[in-house]
Amino acid sequence: MERDSLDQRARVLLRKVIHESQSCTQSSHTLSIYDTAWVSMIAKPENEEHHWAFPESFQFLLDEQQSDGGWDGQKNSDDGILNTLAALLAMKRHEKSACTGSPVTDADLHTRLSKAVTYLQWKLQQWDVAASVHVGFEILVPTLLSMLEQEQMVFRFPRKQDLMRLNASKLRHFDPSMLYGDQKTTLLHSLEAFIGKIDFDKVQHHKTNGSLMCSPSSTAAYLMNCSTWDIEAEMYIRNAILHGSGHGNGGVPGVFPSNIFEVTWVVSTLIQAGYTAESLDHQNVRDIISYLEGHFSAQEGLLGFAPSELADGDDTAKTVLTLNLLGRPTSPEPMVSFFKTDSGHLLTYPGERDPSFSVNCNGLMAILRAPEVEKYLPHIENIADFLCRSYLSRTIKDKWNKSPHYSMMLLAETLMRLVRLWSDGRLGLLRQHFIQDRVLVVLIQILNRTLFTQQTDGNWSRENSPEENAYGILTLLALQDLPHARPLAPKIQSAIQAGRQVLVQTGRQREKPQYLWVGKVTYGSSVLAETYCLAAMHAPFSHHVWSNKMEETVTTTAADAVSLSQFFHRIPEYFNIPGWKILASVIEGSLYLQRLRLARYDIFPHQQSSKDKYLDYIPCSWTIVNNCTGAFLDSTLMWDMMVISMLDFLVDEYVESVLVQLRERDIVLLQQMVRTLCRKPDTESARETGLPRPDGHFAPTGSGTEHEASSEESTNGHSAQLAAVGVVINDYVRAMVGHSRIQKASSVDQTYLHAELETFLLAHIDQIQDNHRLHRQDPCSLDARKRFHTPRMSHYVWSHTTAAHHSACAVSFAFFTCRLASDSSRGADLFPTSYSKYMARDLCSHLAVLTRLYNDYSSIARDGAESNLNSVNFPEFHSERAGGVGQTDLSVTSESRAKDNLLRLARYERSCVKGSFQALAEALGDVTAASGPRLQDALALFVGVTNLWADMYVAKDLTNRVR
């Protein structure tokens, strides 16, 4: 689309917004069934009788009822419930009332009531109360339910007690006097929740231009319950009907007016997208500056969504941002001082229960665009840290917009501004590891999520919403200049062009905006939809000159990233995955590599011969599966599992390089120590083992204290070598079971981890003993295929016990189980039934065997050189009929044939994994891990990573050689 055309549309839009804001009639919000229902219940006294004040509103309500009986045009459960509760109450009031002016017959009303009740009963049965983000739902729904009970309409549903607990929590400090004083409060926006609980005559002084916090429903409640008819409130509602987006059809928006909100959102979005004062018309810009500076000064730097309304952090931030973007230096100091919490992040309103993600994005951007940005460094770091932690732990649940793409767009734009300032030296005191380990990880993840969730036709929205597609385009435009993303430049550019093409094709749909914004119910805005589309079509590709400091955060070269992605792309499971997806996941994984290399020495000492080549592959294996399966599990979980994967390798390496040198007597003692440590992994266990550090101190007990040990204690009947081993094993056990999130899992799941940890470590000791016996058969032989003459058990039993436990799959799965369970915050077992527990263990068993068989396949030569027992050493692989019926030739004993047979067994176990996973999935149904992802998706991720490593074993042996 031509720039001149975009400029013209932007000027027209801005002129409209300015005109309506100056006349206090600005609200492009879609009509609200909920608010209209309350308006329709207003009865006006006149000549000693009452008549319906707004019959057109009740008619609008009737016209909008759907065939299923409800009012839920957007198929949103919360909207459907709130709308239908309010509409049901309105119809019941009209049915019973003697007021004149009702536009419907009694028979028609009775039918409508019956259908509405049926719909509401069905909706309430499915309602996930905990997932609701609608403003004030915890006080509005109980009030409506109570009012309907007074009409002999009682609704029971599974989560009703949860709702009432939230209601009690919200109102535990409520006192009617809170509404009677001079101080405004957010409760004024929802006065309908306090009918019968407050004296409405005592809140009239809070009116602004006739409204209570610009809310038609709250104003309707006031007008219905004040002792004297308030003509100013009546005229406010008439203006909302006439000047709202219904233009007189009886419907009202959820907020009217919303001048400051719409002006600042429109102008700041357009300016950041490259529109200039010239392209927007200088007179328009002057009018905007005059309007905003006037209100900013009058309200001492704290604004709400409309003039003279209760100040909030969001509209204040957008005002500060807009004025600075327009070249009017404006301090964020009032905003920071008033809305900052003790923990450093910002609030929308003082005293709110949960912080808003988008408010903190907007607040941080306002600070980053302000003059003297350096003086706000502590606030910048605190807010950025809050945003990164929220994003990485997937705890984003924004209050004001339900699209995840909106949150990602804001975060991408804000953090890119921060990174540019850091690169240019203006925020040089920000810690580099914070930028590298937090901010850049978030930015690349947002880039990848945005690319991965774009549909093949260029859409990001399932409803084909132009506004939501614009969010996606603006996100990519913000990130396309990131130096880490250079290898993805062609894909990013093509994704932006595809998105823009969709915007061109769906231009007319902006007139019917999608309900993305959240108030008491969700709503859309034609003005905001047009604004974001104009921004997405206009914003240029940027080319920032990055400093050397920023360039040094790119720790993996483009060539290395491409090479690694090509390795993964050759794996059969990923043949058909687009190459850019693998490359994007490798780039994401590379951001964890430096941190992982540092963590490598936290527990296990460095072995001189170690090259640790597996470290390059561990992060990528998790990011590839997480992205390509669409699981998108949170990054804190991903990081923990990357560390666990690394520890799996390090335990194996440590056992084969250090434990293998222990005397037989020490091996027996070590087994006892392992049992003690795993069964009592606490302060007591450290003392019971009697294991001192080689420097004469006891192993860490978690208390932060150390005790000097005498020379006698330092031996205590153990060799110095065993004492050193004990310290390492103790630290390892503590790291596994003492993890803060593991401690939040149920006692059953923690016990499972302790048991698997013990089994895992003991299996390594068993393997040492098997290796010794194999070596003693023929100490001089280096033949990788030599036969193990005296196995303790058959290959089948060994592969399902010692070998499987040795593979670390089971202990990793147990850790993963605890980690997922901890996210549920319920203290319940992750697998809730005996059947699901059994099926989970069965799945894990097959995965463990599969892992060991594939590992043996890849390490035959290395195991032979190091005298490690491998599957192919078992007699079954030396039988004349090992290859199957009729295969009697001596070549069956060749390494090639042995590998073929081993691979055949591994593939059989993979087929068992598929069956076990399917059975477990059916057992779990829709059980979810409360942090967001369905439990099945989380388990599929673990299975996917295990399968990927199995295929990687076939491709190359990544384990360090220790001898």
Whether 770 and 684 map to the same domain: the answer is yes
Residues paired with residue 100 on neighbouring β-strands, in sequence order: 51
- pLDDT, average across residues 357-363: 97
Residue 886 scores a pLDDT above 50: no
Residue 716 scores a pLDDT above 70: no
- Of 500, 522, 556, which marks where a domain is finished? 556
Whether 782 and 914 map to the same domain: the answer is yes
- pLDDT, average across residues 177-198: 96
Whether 450 and 595 map to the same domain: the answer is no
Which tens digits make up the pLDDT trace of 315-327? Answer: 999 999 999 999 9
Query: What domain range includes position 541?
Result: 411-556
Using 50, 70 and 90 to split pLDDT, how confident is the model at 691?
very low
**For the ranges 32-46, 130-144, 687-701, 718-732, which has the lowest average pLDDT?**
687-701
Alpha carbon dihedral 265, 268, 269, 271, in 10-degree steps, equals 150
Using 50, 70 and 90 to split pLDDT, how confident is the model at 697?
very low
Separation of alpha carbons 811 and 806, rounded Å = 9
How confident is the model at residue 685, as a pLDDT? 45
Average pLDDT, the chain: 89
Separation of alpha carbons 587 and 441, rounded Å = 10
Q: Which is more confidently placed, 45 or 75? A: 45
Share of residues in the chain with pLDDT > 90 (%): 75
Secondary structure of residue 103 in the 3-state scheme? coil
Separation of alpha carbons 783 and 395, rounded Å = 54
Query: How many domains are contained in the chain?
Result: 4
How confident is the model at residue 698, as a pLDDT? 29
Contact of 34 with 254, CB cutoff 8 Å: yes
In a 13 Å sphere around the CA of 286, the CA atoms on its Cβ side amount to 4
Using 50, 70 and 90 to split pLDDT, how confident is the model at 714?
very low
Whether 814 and 940 map to the same domain: the answer is yes
Secondary structure of residue 515 in the 3-state scheme? coil
Say which amino acid occupies 553: T
Q: Whole-model pTM?
A: 0.91
Residue 707 scores a pLDDT above 50: no
How confident is the model at residue 507, as a pLDDT? 75
Using 50, 70 and 90 to split pLDDT, how confident is the model at 956?
confident
Residues paired with residue 248 on neighbouring β-strands, in sequence order: none
Cα–Cα–Cα angle for 295, 298, 303, rounded to 5 degrees: 55
In a domain, 343, yes or no: no
How confident is the model at residue 899, as a pLDDT? 85
> Which of 909, 795, 793 lies closest to 845 in space, CA to CA?
909
Give the CATH number of the domain where residue 841 resides.
1.10.600
Separation of alpha carbons 637 and 633, rounded Å = 7
Q: Work out whether the CA dihedral 185, 188, 194, 200 comes out positive or negative.
A: positive
In a domain, 137, yes or no: yes
Residue 571 scores a pLDDT above 70: yes
- Of 528, 556, 584, which marks where a domain is finished? 556
Whether 778 and 756 map to the same domain: the answer is yes
Which tens digits make up the pLDDT trace of 515-546? Answer: 999 999 999 999 999 999 999 999 999 889 99
437's tokens: 């380990």
Residue pointed to by tokens 């596994």:
736
Whether 149 and 218 map to the same domain: the answer is yes
How confident is the model at residue 687, as a pLDDT? 40
In a domain, 638, yes or no: yes
Contact of 498 with 450, CB cutoff 8 Å: no
Which tens digits make up the pLDDT trace of 409-468? Answer: 999 999 999 999 999 999 989 999 999 999 999 999 999 999 999 999 999 988 889 999
Whether 537 and 460 map to the same domain: the answer is yes
Helices (H), 127-258: 137-149, 160-171, 177-180, 216-225, 231-243
Residue 682 scores a pLDDT above 80: no
CB within 8 Å of 731: residues ≥ 6 apart: 603, 699, 700
Contact of 852 with 946, CB cutoff 8 Å: no
How confident is the model at residue 958, as a pLDDT? 66
Give the CATH number of the domain where residue 141 resides.
1.50.10.160
Helix 377-392 vs helix 357-368: angle between axes, to the nearest 10 degrees? 150
- Pick left, alpha or beta for residue 627 (phi over 0 → left; psi -120 to 50 → alpha; otherwise beta): alpha
How confident is the model at residue 785, as a pLDDT? 62
Helices (H), 664-823: 664-679, 683-689, 711-715, 720-737, 747-777, 795-800, 802-806, 809-823
> Which of 831, 603, 877, 840 lies closest to 738 in space, CA to CA?
603
Separation of alpha carbons 514 and 29, rounded Å = 11
Which tens digits make up the pLDDT trace of 805-856? Answer: 999 999 999 999 999 988 765 678 999 999 999 999 999 999 999 999 999 9
How confident is the model at residue 826, as a pLDDT? 64
How confident is the model at residue 878, as a pLDDT? 82
- Of 243, 274, 295, which marks where a domain is finished? 243
Separation of alpha carbons 582 and 568, rounded Å = 7
Using 50, 70 and 90 to split pLDDT, how confident is the model at 587?
very high
In a domain, 356, yes or no: no
- pLDDT, average across residues 366-382: 96
In a domain, 527, yes or no: yes
Secondary structure of residue 456 in the 3-state scheme? coil
H/E stretch holding 43 reads: strand 43-46
Whether 38 and 126 map to the same domain: the answer is yes
How confident is the model at residue 701, as a pLDDT? 37
Whether 672 and 623 map to the same domain: the answer is no
In a domain, 288, yes or no: no
Contact of 809 with 844, CB cutoff 8 Å: yes
How confident is the model at residue 962, as a pLDDT? 55
Q: Work out whether the CA dihedral 556, 557, 558, 563 comes out positive or negative.
A: negative
Whether 679 and 694 map to the same domain: the answer is yes
Whether 762 and 615 map to the same domain: the answer is no
- pLDDT, average across residues 716-738: 89
Helix 55-64 vs helix 77-96: angle between axes, to the nearest 10 degrees? 130
Residue pointed to by tokens 């009592």:
680
In a domain, 541, yes or no: yes
487's tokens: 């290898």
How confident is the model at residue 718, as a pLDDT? 67
Whether 582 and 450 map to the same domain: the answer is no
H/E stretch holding 584 reads: helix 579-590
- pLDDT, average across residues 53-67: 96
In a domain, 372, yes or no: no
62's tokens: 């009737």
- Tell me the backbone φ, ψ of residue 754, rounded to 5 degrees: -60, -45
Residue 486 scores a pLDDT above 90: yes
